[in-house]
Amino acid sequence: MNSSLVGNQSGRPFCLLAISYLETINFCLLEVVIIVFLMVLIISGNIIVIFVFHCAPLLNHHTTSYFIQTMAYADLLVGVSCLVPSLSLLHYPVVLSESLVCQIFGYVVSVLKSVSMASLACISIDRYIAITKPLTYNTLVTPWRLRICILIIWLYSCLVFLPSFRWGKPGYHGDVFQWCANSWNTDPYFTLFIVVMLYAPAAFIVCFTYFNIFRICQQHTKEINERRVRFSSQDGEAGEAQPCPDKRYAMVLFRITSVFYILWLPYIIYFLLESSNVYSNRIASFLTTWLAISNSFCNCVIYSLSNSVFQKGLKRLSGAICASCTRQRVAKDSSTSRSKRSSNGCHV
């Protein structure tokens, strides 16, 4: 029996959402449905993103593709790690103790989401350098430096949340476990440490860079349009307004970043309130946590809907899959027809 039932005298499973328990079943139905549904979406969506990047070489033309693929791999691992609480809620027996599983799961998910947050900040810095220093961009941003930067992101994320095993809970990713919800408390100093070392710097970098990116794009658009109007008036032709060429791609990345922080804002607010002993609620803990985790699926949806090159790569991938299925079907039909002809020849 899973240790989440220990101390529950009524024999009912430990469920954060009270409405999830039904008398006819012995597990947390609503929690399992939500987590499994998100797990399937996150895994399938990010596998598609990874395959599309490999099938569409034009997507790798932008250096930001390094960070987007890093986010896709991190989000894919988030989806895979969601299998752990799903098995716990279904009372699947585990070898390790619930406290250790809970701590490891909370640490792993916190690290993976930290990688996504740091990657978004690096993407904004990359776009800022591309617009402010276009002539020296290729010498400043090289594939070798990008790989070093990605390695630093992973190492930094692992180190930032490492004290959680001693100082306290890094977040609420493990609250589906009874030990995490009741015995693993947050520490206000560790929460402040996470905010200072991760949340605040990432948010400041994103706000600063995108504000300046759009400001510079507006200036470039105004200058380009003024030149076009000046030259077109000399030629007697009407000039059309032309947007900044970098603004469209920056808008795609800005949408991804905005959705990330919108979905994570309730989680961060609740994290700060609970850590300071102002407000604590198990339902709010579960909902804000899994709302934040759902961002792992939203990234691939936004990118697929906003980037035309990605859409072409997705069509190419789907076309290749359909062509492969068609070839297999034709080969199967031909082999079936040959077997029928051979069987008919034996009876003659």
pLDDT tens digits for 280-338? Answer: 788 888 888 888 888 888 876 776 666 666 666 667 766 666 666 666 666 666 666 55
Q: How many CA atoms lie within 13 A of 264 on its CB side?
A: 21
Q: Which residues contact 296 (CB under 8 A, 6 or more apart)?
A: 38, 42, 46, 74, 75, 76, 78, 79, 116
pLDDT tens, residue by residue, 245-269: 556 666 777 777 788 888 888 888 8
User: Over the chain, what is the mean pLDDT?
Assistant: 75
- Comparing 72 with 336, the larger pLDDT belongs to 72
Please state, for a pLDDT cut of 70, what percent of the chain lies above it. Answer: 67
- Three-state SS for 195-258 is HHHHHHHHHHHHHHHHHHHHHHHHHHHHHHHHHHHHHHHHHCCCCCCCCCCCHHHHHHHHHHHH
What pLDDT does residue 347 have?
Answer: 46
- Of the candidates 295, 302, 307, 301, the residue with the CA atom closest to the CA atom of residue 260: 295
| Torsions phi, psi for 319 (to 5 deg) | -65, -40
**What average pLDDT does the segment 212-221 reach?**
79
pLDDT band at 6, cuts 50/70/90? very low
pLDDT band at 222, cuts 50/70/90? confident
Structure tokens at 36: 């499994």
**Is the distance from CB of 36 to CB of 86 less than 8 angstroms?**
yes
CB neighbour class for 163 (10 Å; exposed up to 12, middle 13-18, buried from 19): middle
Q: How far apart are CA 290 and CA 174, in angstroms?
A: 11
What pLDDT does residue 348 have?
Answer: 40
**pTM, full prediction:** 0.76
How does DSSP assign 97-141, residue by residue?
-HHHHHHHHHHHHHHHHHHHHHHHHHHHHHHHHHHH-TTTHHHHS
What pLDDT does residue 174 have?
Answer: 64
- Residue 212, Cβ neighbours under 10 Å: how many? 15
Element (H or E) spanning 48, and its range?
helix 29-55
Please state, for a pLDDT cut of 90, what percent of the chain lies above it. Answer: 6
Structure tokens at 138: 């290729």
Q: How many CA atoms lie within 13 A of 37 on its CB side?
A: 9
CB neighbour class for 178 (10 Å; exposed up to 12, middle 13-18, buried from 19): buried
- Say yes or no to pLDDT of 31 above 50: yes
| Residue 190 zone, left/alpha/beta (φ > 0; ψ -120 to 50; rest) | alpha
Q: Which residues contact 216 (CB under 8 A, 6 or more apart)?
A: 131, 132, 244
What pLDDT does residue 69 have?
Answer: 85
Q: Report the amino acid identity of residue 132.
A: T
Q: How far apart are CA 191 and CA 268, in angstroms?
A: 10
The domains found in the chain, sorted by start residue, are 21-228+246-310 (1.20.1070.10)
What pLDDT does residue 298 have?
Answer: 81
Weakest-pLDDT range from 89-93, 154-158, 284-288:
89-93
